[in-house]
Structure 1
Amino acid sequence: MRSSVEIYTLATGKSRVVWQTEQLVEAPNWSPDGQSLVINGDGLLYRLPLAGGEPALIDTGFARTCNNDHGISPDGQTIVISDKTEFGASTIYTLPAIGGQPKQVTQNRPSYWHGWSPDGKTLAYCGIRDQVFDIYTIPVDGGEETRLTFGEGRNDGPDYSADGEWIYFNSSRTGRMQIWRIRPDGSDVTRITDSAYGDWFPHPSPDGRHLLVISYDGDVFDHPRDLDVRLRLMDPDGGNARTLFELFGGQGTINVPNWSPDGTEFAFVRYEPVVGD
């Protein structure tokens, strides 16, 4: 399988290839300075320079089984990871953006990070407690987690709006996975999409103008890899939803925040089967 890391530009409606490899890489985060992407592969993190060149390994210390739920703090100084090396189940840690020894944030597990608050003080994540998938937040330095949803279907993929007023997430509470949003205090739960698709991983743009989601066919359960999917763009309230393009992808394509700092572009991974001789 070939992984193609690409960037889509809203103004032109076209994408360009940044880097390709015949290894599995996933989930590009755009650095706040606009100079690089962070991706994961084989349980490790890499920094991919946008000016050209090969990805450079990021030192994650003992954490050697990082999954695709990782991200960069708003000030660019810290990376958050989700890793199972230490406890055998996904746990959230932070480490310096230049690399270093991870610091544990969550005590309860499994926990899968998905969003930074705009002020960099709070993390939003999906936690599985007694087989129930819900949305939680926690201070970036650790402490007690705050539960925002309470078992109304499966809840996953939380990401903050640019102003910090909302946390967007996907939920199956009405049957099919759709996009919802909730206030950081757990109030005002609002449905955003009402589509025939299975909508996952909502990412509000940094300029507050757009919401990007990945959409599966309506009969697909969960968010598997290696399927025909579509990337859809809409207003933050769900209006003017439209398909930007279809691709072969799914898991790993846009699991975590992937917008450029100015909100004019986003990064994603496309997958292509490699045909042998």
Structure 2
Amino acid sequence: MAPRELLPGQRAEIWIIDVDSGERRLRWASSEVLVEAPNWHADGRLIVNANGQLFSLEADGDDAPSPLPIHGLDDLNNDHVLDPDGRHIFVSDSGTRHIHRADLTTGEQVQVTGDDGGLWHFLHGVSPDGREIAWVGLTFSEDDGVRTNLFTSLAVQAEGLAASPGRHQLTDDAFPDDGPEYSPDGQWIWFNSERGSAEPGHAQVFRMPAKGGHPTQLTFDERVNWFPHVSPSGCKLVYLSFPTGTEGHPENRDVILRELYFDSGYRDLVALPGGQGTINVNSWSPDSTRIAYVAYPFD
């Protein structure tokens, strides 16, 4: 799977927004490198992917992104999540179709998902204690086409195993499910799904118990909602809203970054040209005040 590239006349812009005030700051922009999916490290760095690799830059600095080589992997996609220990990061590699845990300093990595019957593994969440990961498993068949279901498993080395250690399947149906992410207390899995609609597309935000159980729908509107991210404080939630009728989470759409109020609807934070790559992973600041995101405007 070839990494995305910027189109002629397009830029990638990393922005930081204060969620309460709405104040925004352009952190970095490029007309040559397409960056995606900021993670926010506790040490103040943002970690993004580009060209199949990871890069870091200071959230409040003025440096350009610098590479973080991960040994043996050169096809990393935008599904990367920091380990709570602060020393490692979990990554999805499109070449191996597996999830790996990598050392941020040395670049050494180990595979942490097993063969799982040929599933493609796409990471989205890491438990607060770093002991489990939540991921999307993709299957392909002539009869059913592409099916996506949600899984959790242990975050331990699994290379060569027939199944991921401690694998637990959270969903087992034909509804497109994606973006599973743990709540800060580890009790819930937040995700987006089309299970609330009778038509293709129209994903909404849901959550379910982390050990499995009945999903509860949390958004109910005409737009298409993806990638719910809960703040480290557990008090705020931001997600990406696509135009009505959008199928999947494509690039180059007019999207809205929204904050969900747990008891009274939502409010718009910013409208932007984006979609795929904007906030595929949790990009809250450690103090739960700011979000980093990527826009992709054209000149």
After TM superposition, the score normalised by the length of structure 2 is 0.87
Aligned to 1:30: 40
Q: How far 1:263 moved relative to its partner?
A: 0.5
Identity of aligned residues (%): 36
Equivalent position to 2:256, from 194, 213, 230: 230
Superposed, which structure 2 residues align to 1:177-216 within 5 Å?
A: 177-216=203-242
CA RMSD of aligned residues (A): 1.3
Q: How far 1:152 moved relative to its partner?
A: 4.6
Distance in 2 of aligned mates of 1:31 and 1:93: 18
Report Cα offsets for 1:51-100 as digits up to 9, x if no partner: 22111110111110100000111121111110033x3xx21001112242
What code does the residue aligned with 1:174 have?
G
What code does the residue aligned with 2:103 have?
P
Aligned to 2:5: none
What code does the residue aligned with 2:120 have?
P
> Would the alpha carbon gap of residues 207 and 217 (structure 1) be closer, same or farther in structure 2, given more than 3 Å must change?
same
> Would the alpha carbon gap of residues 110 and 148 (structure 1) be closer, same or farther in structure 2, given more than 3 Å must change?
same
Report Cα offsets for 1:194-250 as digits up to 9, x if no partner: 111100000011111111110111211110000100011013x36331111210000
What code does the residue aligned with 1:13 have?
G
Superposed, which structure 2 residues align to 1:147-158 within 5 Å?
A: 147-158=169-180
Q: Is the 8 A contact 2:89 2:104 kept in 1?
A: yes
Aligned to 1:110: 120
Aligned to 2:189: 167
> Would the alpha carbon gap of residues 238 and 199 (structure 1) be closer, same or farther in structure 2, given more than 3 Å must change?
farther
Equivalent position to 2:277, from 252, 255, 258: 252
Distance in 1 of aligned mates of 2:20 and 2:207: 27
Distance in 1 of aligned mates of 2:297 and 2:94: 28
What code does the residue aligned with 1:27 have?
A
Distance in 2 of aligned mates of 1:245 and 1:59: 33
**Partner-residue secondary structure (3-state), 2:265:** coil
Distance in 2 of aligned mates of 1:170 and 1:11: 24
**Partner-residue secondary structure (3-state), 2:78:** coil
Q: Is the 8 A contact 2:283 2:293 kept in 1?
A: yes
> Would the alpha carbon gap of residues 238 and 95 (structure 1) be closer, same or farther in structure 2, given more than 3 Å must change?
farther
Report Cα offsets for 1:13-66 as digits up to 9, x if no partner: 121011111121100000022x11000001010011222211111011111010
Equivalent position to 1:137, from 143, 149, 152: 152
Distance in 2 of aligned mates of 1:98 and 1:68: 20
Bigger drift between 10-19 and 132-141 goes to: 10-19
Q: How far 1:271 moved relative to its partner?
A: 0.8
Matched, 1:100 2:107: yes
Distance in 1 of aligned mates of 2:106 and 2:180: 25
Aligned residue-pair number: 269
Distance in 2 of aligned mates of 1:239 and 1:187: 24
Distance in 2 of aligned mates of 1:16 and 1:54: 15
Structure 1 runs (4+) deviating above 2 angstroms are 237-240
**Which blocks of at least 5 consecutive residues in structure 2 are unaligned?**
1-9, 141-145, 159-164
Distance in 2 of aligned mates of 1:81 and 1:5: 20
**Which blocks of at least 5 consecutive residues in structure 1 are unaligned?**
none
**Partner-residue secondary structure (3-state), 1:272:** coil
Distance in 1 of aligned mates of 2:228 and 2:94: 24
Aligned to 2:296: 271
Distance in 1 of aligned mates of 2:263 and 2:80: 26
Matched, 1:15 2:27: no
What code does the residue aligned with 2:94 have?
K
Q: How far 1:102 moved relative to its partner?
A: 1.9
